[in-house]
Amino acid sequence: MTFRLSSRAVGATLFLSALAGAPAQAAVLCTVVADAADGRIVFQQGTQQACNTRYTPASTFKLPIALMGADAGVLKGPHEPVWNYQSSYPDWGGDAWREPTDPARWIKYSVVWYSQLIARALGQEGFQRYTTAFHYGNEDVSGEPGKHNGTDGAWIISSLRISPLEQLAFLRKVVNRQLPVKPAAYDLAENLFEVGKVGDWRLFGKTGTGSPGDNGVYTSANAYGWFVGWARKDGRQLVFARLVQDERTTKPNAGLRARDDLMRDWPAMVDVPRK
């Protein structure tokens, strides 16, 4: 997928240059925004190398998992199925992860074990088949080296990797409904991933927090934070990805801060007057 840098993107970058000198909790590795229709980049921040480098997708992969689950009939709607927490499930997300969970709650609280149950319902072969058909990043959902645990979290500091520009390529397919899934899968994604409004823009997306490595071990001192998704205003649709990295342990997590900062910066990135 080819993305072209527009003159408007250059203007937006200059418009935001003052922000670069401000104190920050995390370094912005890459922010990219593109027109969903033609792939034209309207804003880019960060080096081309950083924007092309692959990182763990972490919980941003819940969007592909939701599309897979809905297409396969595992997910029936925003409130079905409801699955109960078991003591063997991951619960580092706190009390919110120990409650009965439906798809809406899964996304709201980013519940890892619900993702695992969907992936297991697909089976490793089905999980791989969807990931390959989506052309998602490096398409590797085998899991940690030698453990064959892909459905347990290939997307969490493990085998699966994706770059910010590859996130845009995937998101364009979502927005333009070009993936091999049923229409109902896109409809469910629209329902589950709406974040809110920034001015007249409606934003949809998912955060993710991970760190370097491939063994499933999270280190907060150099955490990655993602926020990826799409935005809609007056018939115009944009796709976006922001990736930051912490230099020290910081709260809230890097993904939430990537989301909040992108939403704060959004008007300056996309609403710069045309010259």
pLDDT at 13: 41
Q: Give the model confidence (pLDDT) of 258-271 as tens digits.
A: 999 999 999 999 97
> What is the DSSP secondary-structure string of 140-201?
----STTT--GGGTTTSSSS--B-HHHHHHHHHHHHTT-SSS-HHHHHHHHHHSEEEEETTE
Tokens of 219: 């280190």
Tokens of 273: 């007057």
pLDDT at 53: 98
d(CA 14, CA 86): 51
Angle formed by the axes of helices 7-15 and 254-270, nearest 10°: 120
pLDDT at 16: 46
Mean pLDDT, rounded, for 140-163: 95
Task: Identify which has the larger pLDDT, 63 or 19.
Answer: 63
Q: With 90 as the cut, is the pLDDT of residue 94 above it?
A: yes
Tokens of 117: 């149950």
Angle at 21 between CA 18 and CA 22, to 5 degrees: 95
Element (H, E) at 270: helix 254-270
End-to-end CA distance of the chain: 28
Domain residue ranges of the chain, discontinuous segments joined by +: 4-270
Give me the phi and psi of 163, to 5 degrees please: -95, 160
Q: Give the model confidence (pLDDT) of 10-44 as tens digits.
A: 444 434 443 443 344 689 999 999 999 999 999 99
pLDDT at 3: 38
Name the catalytic one among 7, 59, 87, 220. 59
Classify burial at 4, counting beta carbons within 10 Å of its beta carbon; exposed 0-12, middle 13-18, buried 19 or more. exposed
Mean pLDDT, rounded, for 224-233: 97
pLDDT at 9: 46
Angle at 95 between CA 90 and CA 101, to 5 degrees: 70
Element (H, E) at 228: strand 224-233
CATH topology of domain 4-270: Beta-lactamase (3.40.710)
Mean pLDDT, rounded, for 94-103: 98
Q: For residue 96, give the 3-state DSSP assignment.
A: helix
Q: Are strands 26-35 and 40-45 parallel, antiparallel or unpaired?
A: antiparallel
59 catalytic, yes or no? yes
Average pLDDT, the chain: 91
What single-letter amino acid sits at 195?
V
Classify burial at 109, counting beta carbons within 10 Å of its beta carbon; exposed 0-12, middle 13-18, buried 19 or more. middle
Query: How many residues comprise the chain?
Result: 275
Task: Identify which has the larger pLDDT, 21 or 183.
Answer: 183
DSSP assignment letter at 230: E
Spell 211-232 as b/e; 16+ CB within 10 A means b.
beeeebebeeeebbbbbbbbbb
Calculate the alpha carbon distances from 36 to 19, 152, 243 in Å.
Answer: 26, 32, 19
